[in-house]
Structure 1
Amino acid sequence: MNDLSRRAESDATTRARTIGREEESDLGADRLLVDVANYVCGYEIKSRDAVKTCRFAILDFIACALRGSCDPSCAKLLGPIVPGMSVTIGAHVPGTEYYVDPVTAAFNSTTCARWLDYGDAFYGAEWTHPSDVIGAVLSVSEYVSRLRNERGLSVLSMRDVIVATIKAYEIVGVLALENSFNQIGVDHGVLTKAAVAAVTTSMLGGGRLEVMYATSQAFIDGSGLRCFRHYPCAGTRKGWAAGDAAARGVSLALMTMRGEMGYLCALSAPVWGFNDVFYRRQDIVLKRDFGEFIMENVVFKPSFPSEIHAQTAIEASFRLHPQIIHRVDEIHSIAVHTTRSAVRCIDKTGPLSGPADRDHCLQYAVAVALLYGNMTSDHYEDSVASDPRVDELRRKILIAENPQYSADYVDPDRRSCANSVQVHFKDRTSTNKFEVEYPIGHRRRRMDAFPALEKKFISSLHKKFPPERAGFIFERVTDAQVFDALTPMDFMELFNATPHPVLLPPMRAAPGVFDYTPIDNRASTLGLRLTDGNSARAVEAEAVQQA
């Protein structure tokens, strides 16, 4: 680039920033953009509960991604957008050999994790999957760390990833509490996109203004339809829609950090703004300040994959399985009481087009759980769906809303997701009504959830890696002190399908839960300082040979 081009680019960047500041001071930036920027750039994470839960959330994301990468229908979407392309500084996709740019890595990782609908969820007026942001956070953190490492600067730690993840969860969830995009027929992907754009801009070095710019661009993109999640259009796009939103958020962050301007009235602009165009001329409501609430209250799916509103119905059906399995031919009807949101989202009758349609059908979930007493991703495949008993039971299931369940669903002190199931037989007898108020991944059942999440994680590792390597990974990342001290580079290397040898630094003596020291990027994972011309891997190999 010649001097004239550099000067022109610099002048354009300066003008963009000046215009942005004038808009902020003269016209006033949208309150939401200001609140997001203040939170991302200035809020200090203090909740020990949120930090602990976030570690589980990240590992659960990896578990889901490893499982998803094994599915052929998911695997065909992975890799660089243009086959054969490669990058020097990029990010890994868990469970694969792919090393791609951070935008593509965000798409790949998030798509793998969402494919089997086994990840966490949060529900309010809108239904969301906060873990959709983790693929972007991990990809950008690895990319930034590798870039800084090349320049001789200190790199990030997984503790930095935890902080960024908590903040991204909070943005997604707080916006979902009071704003129902599903009521107007558009998808919640805009929440993922906005949260990713905000947090990754900060990770890339942006300040308040840059965070506002990137977030405004996410809302200008708007939101797509959600027809692909519902009959008659339900299909596999719901497996990669989150990846698409996450990748777009990273792309907007990178564009902003190259000097692209933002639009600080993007939501409130009359006629042309987000609120008027996408939200029926209503303002997006924030009734809760950003903090750590969402991470503390996120709902995991540690035991079986399904849409979140079906989790308690499946659990209730498991309990009924021993009572009905020998009397299937005698069943007259099955009464299921649920929430208004479940009726709206997953009450489906008629033909189901495939796994993507089945895992969002309450009747299918209940029928399979009653018949098999178990639920895995395989139960959504044709081999199980072709069992004639499944459709026979589906036709006998009667779904009804329980107003109390719906009220408790939105009650901030309860946030339940209740279902009850009762089976009635032809001889006019019936089972007891089994009611489950809180899914196993709910905050009120964390003592059940955390061990189940660990079991899910190690099971996912064994699906992808040999036993010795699976045990090696599990031992290290489930130790909080080691987890926090890892660099994103070394963390992601653990899950590479063809990894380099990974050696962890020695344990420090009993530090406090919030005490950590970022690892100097000029040292290898053995703590050895690098010299010119030597790579970290070469130094480590030499040290191992000497040992």
Structure 2
Amino acid sequence: MDATTRRLVDYAMGAEFRNLPGEVVHECKRRLIDTLACVVGAYDAPLSQMTRAVAKRYTGTPSATVLGCSWQTTVEMAAFANGVMLRYLDMSDMYRGKNSGHPSDLIAPVLAVADALGAGGAAAINAITLAYDVYCSFCETIAIKSKGWDQPVYGVVASALGAAKLLGLNHEQTAQAVALALAPNMALAQTRRGELSNWKGCAGANASRNGIFAALLAQEGFTGPSAVFEGKGGLWDVVGPFEWQPAAGGDIPHRITKTNLKSFPVCYHGQSAVWAALDARKRFQVSEISEINVETYRRAIEEMANDPTRWAPTTHESADHSLPYAVAVALLEGEVTAASFSDENLKDPMVADLMRKTKVSEDPGLSAQYPAWAPSRLTIRLATGEVVKAEVKSPRGDSTNPMDDKEVEAKFRSMYRGYGDEKQSRTILQSLWNFDRAQNVRDVLGLFVSRVNDSSGRND
């Protein structure tokens, strides 16, 4: 194996729950609550229903749970189905570095493997924390998108290592899992360019599925390329040489403590602009607006305003990555929710009118603050000539401006409301706050099957 693989595997082999600080365990439970809120919030979305229909075709031994369903499927398909649901609303957490990404994608494969094995909550927390460390450290190490590749390249390696940890693979088997995960799974950045499709929210889930598959192959003795990072034709040849260092330890905190939670179902780079819009709208009537100027950092523009489809989105996926759309909805409705991306809203002439009045530009001073901060400034000119300004340096939920536990709970309760009753949400929240003491992850996941609406068949 090459040196990069060895460092990754050494790090994974040394990851133990007993060594995790209490703060890290608590932050992992907060990410679990946040992520599972995203799953139930997206449960009835058409894409979620299609994904569950595919997963239901498969059975396996051992089997794993698709959240909310009374039936089970293969461990890989459970990871895929739960992964699609957690990403559909684009409200799951985000990490920013040289590259940004959504490390909570890794919660789905870890829960699926832990469920299939009958593992406890402590083992799952250890594997989730490990997977986060690997994923986020790659975000810090390689600007992979600029090379034409997508964030699931990190995800498939992190998923394989999380699965390998739970499966109890030895050093050599874990190295093979890494090679078997990376070599066939180089995801294309085209997924996040132009008119965005369903695959925008599925790519991470697919990496999770394939990372598990790689670990299962390695468990049976399959071998992969011997130098998947540094060898001829390896990742270094594709993206350039880099030096991966241990993801946490010493002065480096576990990365799960530094990911950013979202208040709105919008690309993270638009969160501060939405907050600024909500602040500004308190000072005028929307009908008074004559011009909207959004100043922000370069990455936000690259992700949310650099393509014609971001100025006339026709899909949910393009709209939640459209800065002018998100700002227009916030100004018009005073909130941005999942309902803001309905077909009806996408065709709303009032939203379109505000988007036509919007300009987006880079402020070099704001760009200089990224990635330490994620700032935006709105300047709104009214028909009277009055100018209203609002600026947000750090949106609520950012690691520099974190939600407190009550806010994380409130997000879960809000998104659970359309899924089940308040009593059940309280039961689940209590179970998740005590997840590290759970003897069997399946018992916790099983709580999501009991819904007041079960008689309608909505739990499939």
Structure 1: distance between partners of 2:108 and 2:234:
29
Pairing partner for 2:129 from 122, 144, 166: 166
Report the equivalent of 2:320. 359
Aligned length: 444
Report the equivalent of 2:392. 436
Q: Please say if 1:138 is aligned against 2:95.
A: no
Q: CA deviation at 1:80?
A: 4.7
Shift in alpha-carbon separation, 1:287–1:260, aligned structure 2, 3 A: closer
Structure 1: distance between partners of 2:228 and 2:386:
60
The answer to whether the 8 Å contact 2:248/2:255 transfers is no
Shift in alpha-carbon separation, 1:81–1:46, aligned structure 2, 3 A: closer
Report the equivalent of 1:299. 260
Report the equivalent of 1:427. 384
Pairing partner for 1:313 from 268, 273, 283: 273
Q: CA deviation at 1:191?
A: 0.6
Q: CA deviation at 1:289?
A: 4.1
Q: Please say if 1:382 is aligned against 2:343.
A: yes
Report the equivalent of 2:413. 458
Q: Output aligned runs, 1:453-492, within 5 Å.
A: 453-478=408-433, 480=434, 483-492=436-445
Q: Residue 197 of structure 2: SS of its match in structure 1?
A: coil
Shift in alpha-carbon separation, 1:80–1:144, aligned structure 2, 3 A: farther
Structure 2: distance between partners of 1:158 and 1:485:
5
Aligned Cα RMSD in Å? Answer: 2.0
Q: CA deviation at 1:383?
A: 1.8
Name whichever of 374-383 and 347-356 sits farther off.
Answer: 347-356
Q: Deviations over 1:62-110 (max 9, x none)?
A: 1111122211232112145573x43453111112234111101000110
Q: Please say if 1:216 is aligned against 2:173.
A: no
Report the equivalent of 1:333. 291
Structure 1: distance between partners of 2:428 and 2:270:
32
Unaligned runs of 5+ in 2: 453-460
Q: Please say if 1:72 is aligned against 2:29.
A: no
Q: Deviations over 1:158-198 (max 9, x none)?
A: 01111111110010001001311111222111111000111
The answer to whether the 8 Å contact 1:333/1:397 transfers is yes
Shift in alpha-carbon separation, 1:139–1:337, aligned structure 2, 3 A: same
Report the equivalent of 1:269. 231
- The percent of aligned pairs where both chains have the same amino acid is 25
Q: Please say if 1:241 is aligned against 2:214.
A: no
The one-letter code sitting in structure 1 at the alignment partner of 2:209 is A
Name whichever of 93-102 and 106-115 sits farther off.
Answer: 93-102
The one-letter code sitting in structure 2 at the alignment partner of 1:331 is I
Q: Deviations over 1:122-159 (max 9, x none)?
A: 011111000000000000001111xxxxxxxxxx3201
Report the equivalent of 2:5. 33
Q: CA deviation at 1:419?
A: 0.9
The answer to whether the 8 Å contact 2:2/2:231 transfers is no
Q: Deviations over 1:281-326 (max 9, x none)?
A: x11343664344311100011x3211000011101111112223x2
- TM-score, normalised to structure 1, is 0.77
Larger Rg: 1
Q: Residue 421 of structure 1: SS of its match in structure 2?
A: strand
Q: CA deviation at 1:449?
A: 4.0
The answer to whether the 8 Å contact 2:179/2:225 transfers is yes
The one-letter code sitting in structure 1 at the alignment partner of 2:334 is G
Shift in alpha-carbon separation, 1:88–1:253, aligned structure 2, 3 A: closer
Report the equivalent of 2:456. none
- TM-score, normalised to structure 2, is 0.91
Q: Residue 320 of structure 1: SS of its match in structure 2?
A: helix
Report the equivalent of 2:188. 225
The answer to whether the 8 Å contact 2:286/2:331 transfers is no
Structure 1: distance between partners of 2:297 and 2:451:
46
Q: Residue 409 of structure 2: SS of its match in structure 1?
A: helix
Shift in alpha-carbon separation, 1:103–1:327, aligned structure 2, 3 A: closer
Report the equivalent of 1:123. 96
Pairing partner for 1:493 from 446, 452, 458: 446
Q: Residue 407 of structure 1: SS of its match in structure 2?
A: helix
Q: Output aligned runs, 1:515-534, within 5 Å.
A: none
